[in-house]
Structure 1
């Protein structure tokens, strides 16, 4: 019998060389085994006392050569091993975890950019939010805009944080011969506003005087400085897509 759990530890190391910064990302998955192989010729390459099993997992995560660990819940001893075998049979007070996968990206920003636009032309990654987004000026109805964003694995931009709202306020949206509004995620059912993932919208950033027309979807209007406007689902507008990226 074994149980699987994942420990995602964002290890951020800032390296500055001639003004160039790089962030290191490391993701480790551990698998717990109840009856690991033991060999009395095997000894840990590192051993120390730590207060919790999680702290022992973090030590293994931070050691590139660590492939398994034993944590004793009585003595608080944390032992790290370079292989999958351990020196002695584990007792009922000990926990054994084995590294199942370890992923390292030396430059998380470059990796995020690649995940954002590698197979989806037109997307840009803004690391300060962070958000992977695309602004499209092609006029579309609401359903068509949702389908368009979905074709690249995305959805309409979901403004669910203050920092994301500040971001759209800094974006220069352009008027074209056919549009001056850009659709974002949000729909009203009766009196309740929700995102497309069915989560309720808790904070609103309407332009003064909006919503004015009891309309059921949301857009950003050129000249409103990123504040919200209610827009008709059946009227042609541009759209802003967002793609959720995962680092594992």
Structure 2
């Protein structure tokens, strides 16, 4: 029993009900009742991790999500994330988070991973990183594919959030476990193919608004195409790197100036 995690889920469900979110969930039986498994999830909105945990409750289990270290550094969300045993990911030292995840899998936990790493602006599947496959292979556990559709209408990258009562339908589909191959690359390719098929199946039964920002271009929406979306991701990432480099240079510059003043003061004092 995990009272805190259970309480958070209860609060989340109350909020979802207040928003009028209408969930349709299929394939819950594919989430193992016991033992470790990697839960691989597509990523279209900021609320995906809150929705992805719902199907696991059918077997009274909890998912330990891998999330950015910055979330754990926050004085409010940090203690909550640690209490729920989620796994911090420091992109400057990904090895530590990888080892933590493998240990959790070996101890019988469900570990939630977003193979795309970041939200897809096109709402199509981006290329997958191989981390999910490598973790599953090393821990000797299956990968359970999960697709979520509709969450981008609530809150996604580059668009206003809609957290009021929207009555948004959200579909969650869980597929049969993928057994990892000896080659992480082959497993990753298979996982991508499986999840893309699942996503297209879910989209077929979903009502899409022509020209809407949350609808992929392939389905008549105004979302950017894959190439355009990937180019925007690359531009934003480059700006982020440049900003961090400027901040680092400024810190070092302040340190040098402080050190210079200290040396001068010390010289005068002698």
TM-score by length of 1: 0.22
Higher RCO (CA 8 Å, separation ≥ 6 residues): 2
**Greater fraction of residues in strand:** 1
**Greater fraction of residues in helix:** 2
TM-score by length of 2: 0.21
